[in-house]
Amino acid sequence: MTQDESAATNEPHEDDALERKIRDQPDIAPGAWVKRIVLAIVLLVVAYVGFRVSAAFFPRWWAHRVGDQVGDSLTKGTLWGLFYGFVFTFVPLLLLFQIRRRFFSWTWRIVVVVVALLLAAPNWLTLSVVAGNSKAAHAGERIFDVEAPGFRAGTLSGVIAGAVLALVITGTSMRMKHRKNEVKRLRGERDELKRAQADHTRDDESS
């Protein structure tokens, strides 16, 4: 065998050995959990920044919008507060209570929860003014005091009324559904009993 033939024969073996060494090296790519942790950290940072920006802007903005609607009137402030508090509590809660439906998948239940939270946005904005501790929240409270008297009390009353009515309607609906299922079950038992009696009568006649 010549030197060239020997080198040609050894090269594939060397290549195979090199490939095996490469395959045997530990995988240094980040695992799934590392990627999830990084993604969670990024989402938390984005959420925090969004919260800070929102806390610095929305309370003052919302207070001005409400002040423009109310126009320093106690009556209008109370009525607008009742409207916002009732509608944007009653509708979101009715929607939220639908997640108990069995035909909803978990994906759709999450969608329903998100939509319900978004529908309650006016009440969240009012809460950001009342319960917030930022400069924008304090400015919003002063705007409420001067330009929208009665709005906060009206909103609270509307929220309570909307929540109570939504709970009553949902509870009544669940009770009626339970009654309907109970009646259906009793009718099924009655029909089964009638069929059994008819079969027994036929057996007696044939004997």
Q: Between these two residues, 147 and 12, which has the higher pLDDT value? A: 147
Q: Where are the domains of the chain?
A: 34-178
User: What token pair was written down for 180?
Assistant: 């309907």
The DSSP line for 179-200 is HHHHHHHHHHHHHHHHHHHHHH
The predicted structure's pLDDT at residue 49: 84
Please count the other Cβ atoms lying within 10 Å of the Cβ belonging to residue 79. Answer: 16
Asked if 150 and 78 count as a contact pair (C-beta separation under 8 A), the reply is yes
Cα(77)–Cα(63) distance, integer angstroms: 12
Give the DSSP letter of residue 1.
-
Predicted local confidence at residue 29, as pLDDT: 55
Q: Which two three-digit tokens encode residue 169?
A: 């309607």
Both tokens of 145, joined, read 């005091």
Q: How large a percentage of the chain has pLDDT more than 70?
A: 81
What is the structure's pLDDT at 185? 80
Q: Using one digit for the tens of pLDDT, what is the confidence trace for 16-74?
A: 666 666 666 555 556 678 788 888 898 888 888 887 888 888 999 999 999 999 998 99
- Report the pLDDT averaged over residues 158-180: 91
- 112: which residues sit within 8 A by CB, 6+ positions away? 95, 96, 98, 99, 104
Q: In angstroms, rounded to a whole number, what is the distance separating the alpha carbons of residues 207 and 201?
A: 10
Tokens representing residue 28 in the block: 């240094």
**Between residues 170 and 21, the one the model is more confident about:** 170
Q: Could you tell me the pTM of the whole model?
A: 0.68
User: Rounded CA gap, 69 and 151, in Å?
Assistant: 11
143 CA to centre of own chain: 31
- Please write the tens of the pLDDT for every residue from 79-118: 999 999 999 999 999 999 988 888 888 888 889 999 999 9
User: Is residue 144's pLDDT more than 90?
Assistant: yes
